[in-house]
Homo-oligomer: A and B are copies of this chain.
Amino acid sequence: MAHPFFERETRAPVEGPFAAEELGLAFRNVGLPLEALRYDVTPLGMHYTLSHFDVPEIDAGGFRLAVGGAVEAPLSLRVDDLKALAPPRTLRVTLECAGNGRAGMTPRYPSMPWQAGGVGTAEWTGVALRHLLALARLGPAVTELAFVGADRGFDSGVEHAFGRSLPRALALDDDVILAWEMNGRPLPPQHGAPLRLVVPGWFGMASVKWLDFIEAREQPYDGYQQAVGYHYRKQANEPGVPITHAKVKSLMAPPGIPDWYTRRRLADRGRITVTGRAWSGAGTPIERVQFAVDGEWRYALLAPAAHRYAWQRWECEWDATPGEHELACRATDASGATQPMVPEWNRAGMGNNAVQVVQVTVR
């Protein structure tokens, strides 16, 4: 439902310094500090979060997940009921916000102004969604499943609860889970407690938090975040391309020590092992990572993909000589997709997987 106060034009892309609203979003949501790329599994509190509205207050004792729509047996289940459905699965998954890197697009869309840190890797424990859907018995004409959270608010004048949908076949994939644990501990509030969806290989918006209702649908889901948000568009009013899988990407932990304000780096001369992570979407393994010093590319040492949906560690030796240097890294996945040198611009600043460049002064 629209309300006059919130009715207004969609925001237009801007350039230059950042608005207080953009800053406020940066405070509400957590970015991975890049030195935390050293952890295989991101410690709680350093994993990125992106919450569109307030973190809702949900009474875990009274919580019931509703399953309805075109099913033969509508359900209302406690988390304990889900735990009894099938043996739990734990998946190590790298999730990245579709808007990660938005601040690096010019002009940029006024929204969460991610620099590089909208990413993290966690171990999610839950039950495969397909067991729940089997219990509810999907009707034959069901084409997709909609997942609606308990978080509610406005975007561009439209009031809605955050919701997303998945095609039927994907929802039945064994790797799409309903999770109640993160890194072996109960799901924290800001990551979706008591229950969230985890869709490995997709950008983070698919992994709906504070899951409240699952609707089996015979028509496409028309929720705001599905029908309006999360599209690649060059212009405001074109239909655009829906955002699905994450894209191939790599990041490095900047070497040396930082300046407090500028975060510029200073390193000591000599052999430095530069490390980072690389990942792609849809469970596609990384084929190679390249590392560049002042534009000279070489191959980095890449760890094997031990977990299908988690980032892979890479490292490269650098004999650092005094002066100013520019470091960069670039991943290529098994499909042949690689990172561009400049972002592929789109209006909402989505899916920026351009090569990361880090300036380092060596003394």
Give residues in A with beta carbon < 8 Å to B. Answer: 3, 5-6, 11, 16-28, 30-31, 33, 35-36, 38, 43-47, 49, 51-55, 57, 103, 110-111, 113-115, 117, 152-155, 159, 188-191, 257-264, 266, 361, 363
Number of copies: 2
Tell me, in angstroms, the Cα distance from A111 to B45 when the chains sit together: 22
Are A31 and B27 within 8 A (Cβ)? Answer: yes
Which residues of B lie under 8 Å from residue A51 when comparing CB positions?
A: 33
Which residues of B lie under 8 Å from residue A19 when comparing CB positions?
A: 17-18
Are B154 and A259 within 8 A (Cβ)? Answer: yes
The smallest beta-carbon distance between A350 and chain B, in angstroms, is 15
Are B55 and A21 within 8 A (Cβ)? Answer: no
Are B117 and A27 within 8 A (Cβ)? Answer: yes
Tell me, in angstroms, the Cα distance from A88 to B45 when the chains sit together: 25
Which residues of B lie under 8 Å from residue A17 when comparing CB positions?
A: 16-20
Are A49 and B54 within 8 A (Cβ)? Answer: no
Are B258 and A54 within 8 A (Cβ)? Answer: yes
Are B53 and A258 within 8 A (Cβ)? Answer: yes
Are A33 and B190 within 8 A (Cβ)? Answer: yes
Which residues of B lie under 8 Å from residue A191 when comparing CB positions?
A: 45
Tell me, in angstroms, the Cα distance from A49 to B158 when the chains sit together: 33
Are A260 and B45 within 8 A (Cβ)? Answer: no
Are A43 and B152 within 8 A (Cβ)? Answer: no
Which residues of B lie under 8 Å from residue A36 when comparing CB positions?
A: 55, 189
Which residues of B lie under 8 Å from residue A43 when comparing CB positions?
A: 188-190
Which residues of B lie under 8 Å from residue A54 when comparing CB positions?
A: 33, 35, 257-258
The residue of chain B having its C-beta at the shortest distance from the C-beta of A110 within the complex is B261
Which residues of B lie under 8 Å from residue A33 when comparing CB positions?
A: 27-28, 51, 54-55, 190
The smallest beta-carbon distance between A21 and chain B, in angstroms, is 6
Which residues of B lie under 8 Å from residue A260 when comparing CB positions?
A: 52-53, 111, 153-155
Taking a contact as CB atoms closer than 8 A, the residue among B53, B258, B264 that contacts A257 in the complex is: B53
Tell me, in angstroms, the Cα distance from A117 to B114 when the chains sit together: 19
Given contacts A27-B26, A115-B24, A189-B43, contact A6 B259 (CB under 8 A): yes
Which residues of B lie under 8 Å from residue A46 when comparing CB positions?
A: 55, 188-190
Are B23 and A22 within 8 A (Cβ)? Answer: yes
The smallest beta-carbon distance between A281 and chain B, in angstroms, is 23
17 examples of A-B residue contacts, CB within 8 angstroms? A5-B264, A5-B266, A17-B18, A18-B23, A21-B261, A25-B261, A26-B26, A27-B31, A27-B33, A33-B55, A33-B190, A36-B55, A44-B45, A46-B189, A54-B257, A154-B259, A155-B261
The residue of chain B having its C-beta at the shortest distance from the C-beta of A191 within the complex is B45
Which residues of B lie under 8 Å from residue A57 when comparing CB positions?
A: 35, 38
Are B21 and A111 within 8 A (Cβ)? Answer: no
Tell me, in angstroms, the Cα distance from A36 to B257 when the chains sit together: 33
The residue of chain B having its C-beta at the shortest distance from the C-beta of A18 within the complex is B18
Which residues of B lie under 8 Å from residue A155 when comparing CB positions?
A: 259-261
The smallest beta-carbon distance between A116 and chain B, in angstroms, is 9
Given contacts A17-B19, A55-B35, contact A111 B261 (CB under 8 A): yes
Which residues of B lie under 8 Å from residue A35 when comparing CB positions?
A: 54-55, 57
Taking a contact as CB atoms closer than 8 A, the residue among B24, B152, B189, B261 that contacts A11 in the complex is: B261
The smallest beta-carbon distance between A29 and chain B, in angstroms, is 9
The smallest beta-carbon distance between A69 and chain B, in angstroms, is 25
